[in-house]
Amino acid sequence: MALEHALLVSLRERAASGSELTRRFDKSFGYFWSATHQQIYRTLARMESDGWLTSEVVPQQGKPDTKVYAVSPLGEKILAVWLTEAPTDAPLRSELAVKLRGASYAEDRAGVLAMARAQREVHRTRAAAYEQMLQRQFPHPEELSDADVDRYLVLRAGVRVEEGWIGFLDEYRTTHERRASGATDKEAR
């Protein structure tokens, strides 16, 4: 599993409570590792009982107390080791790819093409969001600290992946448009 390690990274960036972590995993961190608050609370509890984290109850202004977790020396050690290990190759799951591959079994190819066009917009919007975050958070990429340059670079990865999808969805659309217009005679086989 790797949620625990994602939590270690986030907590090393700054100690936090479950709800604060939930917010992070809905925003920036969540762009490459998502989790629900339930998962997070449960995992934090387990990590603490395993000695990876320490916690401290902190009273707040105008809000209920929070339980703020920090990475213990054991947790730091575990993270340091994990970081250099090869990632366990993710199970690669693209619902979009399944749909596009199955497009010829829809009643109407136009419906799938419309979905693909909408999907292209989704990716375009997401890429734009990343780019805006890059500009706002890292206006001078040459002068970043060690930890910040990695946050910067991972955002760059996000942009590239999104652009990969956009490029593909354009290829998908133009290929099918060309076929629909020019090559109606070849439709059967």
Partner DNA sequence: ACAGGTCTTGCAACTTGTTGCATAGGTGTT
Partner DNA sequence: AACACCTATGCAACAAGTTGCAAGACCTGT
Site for DNA in 55-74 (CB under 7 A): 59-68
Decide which of DNA, a second copy, none touches 80; Cβ closer than 5 to 8 Å per partner kind: a second copy
The structure tokens listed for 120 are 């292209």
Does residue number 98 form part of the binding site for DNA (CB under 7 A)?
Answer: no
Does residue number 94 form part of the binding site for DNA (CB under 7 A)?
Answer: no
Q: CB-wise, 63 or 95, nearer to a second copy?
A: 95
Query: Minimal distance in Å, beta carbon 166 to DNA?
Result: 25
- Separation of alpha carbons 52 and 72, rounded Å: 5
Query: Minimal distance in Å, beta carbon 10 to a second copy?
Result: 9
Burial of 12 (0-12, 13-18, 19+ CB in 10 A): middle
Q: CB-wise, 12 or 23, nearer to DNA?
A: 23
Does residue number 17 form part of the binding site for DNA (CB under 7 A)?
Answer: yes
Backbone angles phi, psi at 68, to 5 degrees: -95, 125
Q: CB-wise, 6 or 155, nearer to DNA?
A: 6
Q: Which of 3, 9, 74, 159 binds DNA (CB under 7 A)?
A: 3
The structure tokens listed for 4 are 């625990």
CA angle 52, 54, 57 (to 5 degrees): 150
Ramachandran area for residue 101 (φ above 0: left; ψ -120 to 50: alpha; else beta):
alpha
**Tokens 């060309």 correspond to what residue?**
178
The site for DNA (CB under 7 A) is made up of 1, 3, 17-20, 22, 34-39, 41-42, 44-45, 59-68, 91
